[in-house]
Structure 1
Amino acid sequence: MKRILTVLIFALPAAGMAVEAVTMEALTGGRPWKLAWLAEGGEKLMVLDPGGQVRELLGGQGRLARPLVTADGGAVVVTKLKATAGDAGTAYDPEIVSVPWTGGVPRSLGSGAAVAVWPGSGEEPGAVYAFAALETSKRAALAGEPLVKFRMDKPEDREIVWSGRAAAVDNFQVSRDGTRAAGLFPWPQAGLADLKAQTWTPAGHGSWPSLAPDDSYAMLLLDGTKRRLRCYVPEVDPGWDLDLAELPTLAGGALNHPRWSNDAQILTFTGPWPEEGGGGEGRVQAMRLRKDLKAVEAVHVATVTTGAVESPDLWVANAGGVVTSLPQKPQVAAGGGKAGGWPVQTEGLVLGWERLGGKSDPVLRGMAFGGPGGVVNVSAGSAEFPAAVGGPVFDAVRVSGAWSLSCMVTERRSVPPMSVRLVTLRNEDGTDAAALYRVDGKLVLRVLTGGDGVPARVERFVLTAMFIEDDRPFTLVLTCRNKRLACYVDGQLMREFTTEAGRFGGWKAGRVVLGDERPYGGPWTGCMERVAVYSRELGQEEVEEAWKEASAMLTERTRPTRNLVKAKLVEWPALPATEPLEESANWLQASVWEIEQVFTGAVTDKRITRLHWAVLDGKPVPRPEVQEGQSMEFSIEPVADHPETGAAKVHNAVTGGEAPVWFDATVPGRHKPPFPAP
């Protein structure tokens, strides 16, 4: 269907200045432009150019994915997903096609899912980047591997440029020099990949990561509110936020599908959307950023249409010379860490996980969730490393006859009796090869020794008494070789033990788990980070060296500001239907409360918006039996102390107006019963 569009441009003014309406040509500096997007549930490919007419370029092919305007603007590359639903999820047999901009018969470019069109660099010709295969999944988010690239005139001649870790299809962009790529590895773990070194640098959790099409390696990431873009260069610039809530074209709604055009200052996106991200009138928009990417100069409503629109891609002519004012080709540390960082020792390292957002992240189970700085809160759940990460530990230890375990733990006081596993190396038959416990006020190790001709036995060692200081992290190192077991806390040797057997032949390929799925007694409250397993003994000097690095890191870390309050419930909206929640396994929810009493801390707000976990691991968090007008005690912390919440999905349907936002730090499912209504 053809229709004439209303085209408006709003320049974001300085304080007191009126909004100026200009044309799309003003936004692009008079250069030609072309815009492509998907409509009607992704089953129609739509295009628009300066002629001002929306055209359907491709339809009737089932669901499509990620339209890409080619580097010369002469065609659109798009993927036919060819989806088939099954018990294990939806399977895909994707095919990439190229459709001439003027219309015509699509040309097949072979199997796979296209994710980026690269213009080329120097003598290297341009290419299409695509995932060779897509994963079967029950989730709507598409992910695939390996990543290949090919020339459009030789689609059968393919080169693998990334493998070993799946990435999301929806937004994957390559730098101008072809060495870096931004994406989700997979959702929600955003990062910057070094395609030459085959490493990647985590950038946090969020959606729709987008990479500037110059060589600044600057990234944008849409946060959980869908009203703010987080901007940074991973491991180079800590970043800044672009708050888009006041854009006149959003009218207080949310945006979605942000993607950098081939011009380093111009992006496209869709909106405004309601809180849940669906329904309403969908519009494709464009905005131009200042050269330093720290402010919006103009925003443009490109389409006025009905129904949902998604995945826009904007091409601007003569964009190759446009660069941001940021440094070009900065040196980025590979693998998610700066030189001299953690882990200090790498020899014999079999498993090394620092924090969430890395390549070896554990899968969160139950009501475990990510905390500040990427720690894992396993107070009411557990976290299990993938088999490819945890499995090699067992064979390596069995062969070497030695092992070391290092971890950083942050606890809060718990009421005995209590017995909870902190770290477990679990054999394939379900027995424990080694398990570190918190038993009341002590740390206890149970380890399976013997095997390979020596009787197997489970030996138990009370490692040390540990006084729990709220929110103070401690580092524990256990190291064992030749029947000598040593325990270090914060770099200090606490005790040495002699094991009855010096072999570990009973360790069989299994799982490495943080937290306890079935704790005993009083609930334990704590977080885990910096978990490492070695297939060798660590010497005392090595342990001390590692503690020096950890201590330096902790001196720069601020403990959370905890406030215990009694508050009366004003409004707690119901969660939406199940279908919208399937977009993410974890959701925060907003509710409104009136502060009645402050027991600890310094809360001066009389009315607050409380952010709390409502869905974890795809399951609803038990809601306290509190009704409007009743009061309840809970702990709150400033949202600024919890930057991880910025990337989480948020259900905010409160109607009582704005109030200061606080994060409820109470462990999910552990709120005290409410006070009776007066």
Structure 2
Amino acid sequence: ALSPDNSSILWVFDGPHRNLKFSKPDTNQVWTTNINNAPGINGYEVYHPRWSNHVRFMTMTGPYVEGEGGNKIRGGGKKVEIYLGKFSVDLKSVDSWLQVTDNDRADFFPDVWLANGNKSTLDLPQPNTGAPAKTTQATKWPVTRDHLVYIWQNISAENKLPEESLVGFAQLGVNPKHRARFNRFLEMDLHGSGFIASWPFKKAMAALGKKDGFGIEFLYTPEATAADIAGPVIRLKSRNRDLFNVRQKGNNLILEIADGKMPPTRLELPNFLHPHRPEHLFIAFHKKQLQIYTNGRLLKKAPFTSNPISSLNDGQLLFGQPEMFNSGINGTLSHVGVYAERLSEQEIMKNAHLVTGALEERSLIDTIRFKGKVIESSIVPDPESLGAYRRALVVNRYQITDQLTEGYADKEILVAQWAVLDRTILPEAKDFTNGKLVEMNVEKFDLHPELEGERLIMDMFDPDREIYYQVDS
């Protein structure tokens, strides 16, 4: 929901159906406001949150306590009533609640309008961060968008091209398949599977076909580099044939690109990859030459007769191995750009510095490892019951029998675990049963921004206990 005034604040209703995730993009302020603590809700799920025409008032329905399975929203029930809430002046809490209805039937889809509410405004205090740095195209990735036909930085970036671009206006994206998901840095996490790019392929190919060169840029971080690890990283596929294929084989990175009817041209970077070490790559075709830039510097080149992309009129841009379940590599991808020209060496170097320099700002978070057993589980939902959601986590309660790392003092812990990915119940979900022995790594759920908006199903009532997230599934 977007604020009814001009404060540019918005909220997203979270997956557990218990909180609003607020964001003020112009100041980068983010916070969470709980809304299932109203008298009568008792910590259960709520639904239908709507901002009124007054910036400090909202409405919702709840509590949702009836129904089978993890999705109580479909159960409804006679106890579902309409509530009106008044936000605090900073929108970080709800100061007061009013139960509007009290009857023996469920009430849904409320909307509240207040007299003169459209005159209300909100003036949040600005964060004290000093003078804001001036942002120009030269200080953010990529340094130029002139030749782009595809861009995907991460799931929180705009990832779009304007009307005047080579492909016209385009909202671009990636679709995770099988076990693929996003990580806490908002990157693609291949997880043995992969992603399919959402982009105007025919327009992009038409733009590329008019040029004498092209460039593909990305940041890749392998999880492991053992000799038996092999699989694609990024591919351009047409009619069951990879015309462009960057793949990992152990600690080697290999580029293969079709060259007419000849065997593919192959360039290999031996001993290039290291576990958990990000590498920025820019691969270019320029003046009948293939070039590989790593972290801004030209590392390898080879002669190449013709642009293989110029004659394409169908195909897919793929990341990892999205076609088959659990058959690819483990690693992460971000900062993907496809260009209809090779950038200048100065632009390639600048892009590399911007991307790799931002990595230094990433913070570490504590990981807790424990042995334990399930003592209370949430019901794994039928994928068809999830509505528009394609993924779902369930919260299970574990008794800790042996804590292998420090950082958690209690003997019980709530853990959110993936149960449904790509509208398919995961095989390990059958083990979410009482008494099942486990050993796992977990991190605080709230430190994983990629999970905001995901469906989170929690059948147990424990509103004061913090939720953790399994990170080794």
Q: Which runs of 5+ in 2 are unaligned?
A: 66-70, 127-134, 159-170
Of residues 484, 492, 500 in structure 1, which corresponds to 2:289?
Answer: 484
Query: Are 1:354 and 2:145 an aligned pair?
Result: no
Of residues 312, 315, 331 in structure 2, which corresponds to 1:507?
Answer: 312
Counterpart-to-counterpart distance in 2, 1:373 and 1:264: 32
Check conservation: 1:449, 1:506, Cα contact below 8 A.
Answer: no
Of residues 614, 619, 625 in structure 1, which corresponds to 2:419?
Answer: 614
Query: Are 1:316 and 2:114 an aligned pair?
Result: yes
- What is residue 380 of structure 1 aligned with on the other side? 192
User: Matched residue pairs, number?
Assistant: 443
Of residues 267, 270, 273 in structure 2, which corresponds to 1:467?
Answer: 273
Counterpart-to-counterpart distance in 1, 2:448 and 2:37: 24
Counterpart-to-counterpart distance in 2, 1:373 and 1:484: 34
- What is residue 444 of structure 1 aligned with on the other side? 254
* Deviation readout 1:400-445 (Å, 9 max, x if unpaired): 1311111112221254323211111112x22112011011111111
Check conservation: 1:286, 1:300, Cα contact below 8 A.
Answer: yes
- What is residue 272 of structure 1 aligned with on the other side? 63
- What is residue 442 of structure 2 aligned with on the other side? 636
- What is residue 343 of structure 1 aligned with on the other side? 142
Q: Higher strand proportion, which one?
A: 1
Q: Secondary structure at the match of 1:437?
A: strand
Query: Are 1:530 and 2:335 an aligned pair?
Result: yes
Q: Which runs of 5+ in 1 are unaligned?
A: 1-209, 329-336, 668-678
Counterpart-to-counterpart distance in 1, 2:90 and 2:44: 26
Check conservation: 1:356, 1:375, Cα contact below 8 A.
Answer: yes
Check conservation: 1:605, 1:660, Cα contact below 8 A.
Answer: no
Indicate the RMSD between aligned Cα atoms, in angstroms.
2.8
- What is residue 294 of structure 1 aligned with on the other side? 92
Displacement of 1:232 after TM fit?
2.0
Q: Secondary structure at the match of 1:211?
A: coil
Alignment of 1:321-336 (within 5 A): 321-326=119-124
Higher Rg of the two aligned structures: 1
- What is residue 178 of structure 2 aligned with on the other side? 366
Displacement of 1:658 after TM fit?
6.5
Q: Taking every aligned residue pair, what percent have the same amino acid on both sides?
A: 22
Counterpart-to-counterpart distance in 1, 2:8 and 2:50: 14
- CA 315–640 in structure 1, closer or farther in 2 if over 3 Å, else same: closer
- What is residue 49 of structure 2 aligned with on the other side? 258
- CA 265–638 in structure 1, closer or farther in 2 if over 3 Å, else same: closer
Displacement of 1:375 after TM fit?
1.4
- What is residue 233 of structure 2 aligned with on the other side? 422
Alignment of 1:584-663 (within 5 A): 584-599=389-404, 602-623=407-428, 626=431, 628-654=434-460, 659-663=465-469
Check conservation: 2:222, 2:273, Cα contact below 8 A.
Answer: no
Query: Are 1:496 and 2:287 an aligned pair?
Result: no
Counterpart-to-counterpart distance in 1, 2:106 and 2:36: 20
Displacement of 1:586 after TM fit?
0.8
Displacement of 1:489 after TM fit?
2.2
Query: Are 1:396 and 2:207 an aligned pair?
Result: yes
Instruction: Specify which structure has the bigger relative contact order, considering alpha-carbon pairs within 8 angstroms and separated by 6 or more residues.
Output: 2
* Deviation readout 1:162-193 (Å, 9 max, x if unpaired): xxxxxxxxxxxxxxxxxxxxxxxxxxxxxxxx
- CA 504–602 in structure 1, closer or farther in 2 if over 3 Å, else same: same
- What is residue 219 of structure 1 aligned with on the other side? 10
- CA 606–487 in structure 1, closer or farther in 2 if over 3 Å, else same: farther
Of residues 284, 303, 307 in structure 1, which corresponds to 2:101?
Answer: 303
TM-score (norm 2): 0.85
- What is residue 247 of structure 1 aligned with on the other side? 38
- CA 500–318 in structure 1, closer or farther in 2 if over 3 Å, else same: closer
Counterpart-to-counterpart distance in 1, 2:448 and 2:55: 31
Displacement of 1:235 after TM fit?
3.7
Aligned amino acid, residue 442 of structure 1: N
- CA 306–498 in structure 1, closer or farther in 2 if over 3 Å, else same: farther
Check conservation: 2:232, 2:328, Cα contact below 8 A.
Answer: no
* Deviation readout 1:243-299 (Å, 9 max, x if unpaired): 223222422122211111111221111112236223222211111123332332221
Counterpart-to-counterpart distance in 2, 1:414 and 1:608: 33
Check conservation: 1:407, 1:531, Cα contact below 8 A.
Answer: yes
TM-score (norm 1): 0.60
- What is residue 434 of structure 1 aligned with on the other side? 244
